[in-house]
Amino acid sequence: MRALLFALALSTTALAPACAAPVPTSTANVPEFKPAFDGQTRAEAVTSKTAISVAEVATGLSNPWSLAFLPDGRMLVSEKAPGALRIIDAKGNMSPPLAGTPAVDARGQGGMMGVAVPGDGYIYWTYAEPREGGNGLAVARGKLVDGAQPRIDNATVIFRMMPTLDSDKHFGGKLVFPADGTLFVTLGERSILPGRMQAQKLDSHFGKIVRINRDGSIPKDNPFVGKAGAKPEIWSYGHRNILSAALDGRGRLWEVEHGPKGGDEVNLVQKAKDYGWPTITYGEEYSGKPIGESRTQAPGMEQPVYYWDPVIGPAGAVIPAGKMFPEWRGNLLIGGLATKDLVRLVLRNDRVVGEERLLGDRGERIRDVAEGPDGAIWLLTDGKQGKLLRLTPKG
């Protein structure tokens, strides 16, 4: 572990004027697709007024995926492959892998994924669970026992994505804890065609956001409780692969999901709503062929608040309270895997009115984004030699 402080000087101009251009990017993959409303894509470029210092707090992490803060300020960090949880303190001291975690399927996009510490005495995590006939996302919780060799006691699976499918892609895996004591879990549609075609079917968990209680039971006010042929855990559906989700200051759930070739989306999630995948999309197949009937709109299906073409590869997101970065209060900060930067969206009246790309000069894939108790912004970089970074105002 080592620490490295350096300044990233940013210009001090205010929000760009009304005639400003969007963030420079390449030509859209599907230029014939037009936004449904003004500002739905390629919002005006803005520039933060705050100069940033970036500290490398820890290095050498094996494919880190997610981080969460323990009550004493240390961090619980997941390593996707081979599949481990570690504790890291603010100085970068790293524990051995926690004992007591279940086996994971670390192929492809699988492994150990989301982590959360909601303050109820448990730690929670998601992982790709190996099963007969394939795998699926599972959510587990347990009690952290600290010490020289920390461990998890009484690890219990509280949710399993069903059905089982043999795919190494699109697990989802983010955990979000609203104030009502429930738990949102984001679920991918497994990428391959047999999974994709279940994203809008209510008898499958694929391509859904589910809402459960913290013990795995079903909240009685979920929208599909008691509906024949529908899984009662489902909160929203028609999603592709959600690796970014966060609550805003009003407790509302926002998610940022991967599109195909083009069409990464930002959605403000509402219960029982259909977000359209794969019937509607602002992208195309990786081969360049159209998806389905090549539609961007359809009756009864929600439009994204914002979309990108070309994509950013969204992973990890936070809507900061802004204690340390007041000008970022209420903005959406998103890790860019494809663009190798931190993407900042300025939100106003539930619309995106500005976009900024930060830290692109580092050339590192940003896997997760979190706001610390003191207001610092923490990042995980992706890769076999992943890093834990801390962002603070310069000076």
Q: Which tokens sit at 148?
A: 């020289």
With beta carbons less than 8 A apart as the criterion, state whether 319 and 330 touch: yes
With beta carbons less than 8 A apart as the criterion, state whether 253 and 176 touch: yes
Give the CA count within 13 Å in the CB-facing half-sphere of 208. 29
Q: Would you give the DSSP letter of residue 362?
A: G
Tokens 């076999």 -> residue: 384
Q: What are phi and psi of 35, to 5 degrees?
A: -65, 155
With beta carbons less than 8 A apart as the criterion, state whether 381 and 368 touch: no
Alpha carbons 353 and 15: distance in angstroms, whole number: 10
Q: Which tokens sit at 22?
A: 């969007």
Alpha carbons 113 and 380: distance in angstroms, whole number: 13
Tokens 């989306």 -> residue: 265
Alpha carbons 350 and 307: distance in angstroms, whole number: 14
Q: Which uninterrupted H or E stretch holds 196? A: helix 193-196
Length of the chain: 395
- 258 belongs to the catalytic site: no
Burial category of 249 from C-beta neighbours within 10 Å (exposed 0-12, middle 13-18, buried 19 and up): exposed
Q: Exactly one of 170, 205, 239, 258 is catalytic; which is it?
A: 170
With beta carbons less than 8 A apart as the criterion, state whether 185 and 126 touch: yes
Alpha carbons 181 and 185: distance in angstroms, whole number: 13
Alpha carbons 109 and 88: distance in angstroms, whole number: 24
**The dihedral formed by the CA atoms of 10, 11, 17 and 18, expressed in degrees to the nearest 10:** -30
Alpha carbons 362 and 7: distance in angstroms, whole number: 12
At 31, is the secondary structure helix, strand, or coil? Answer: coil
Hey, which residues are catalytic here?
A: 170
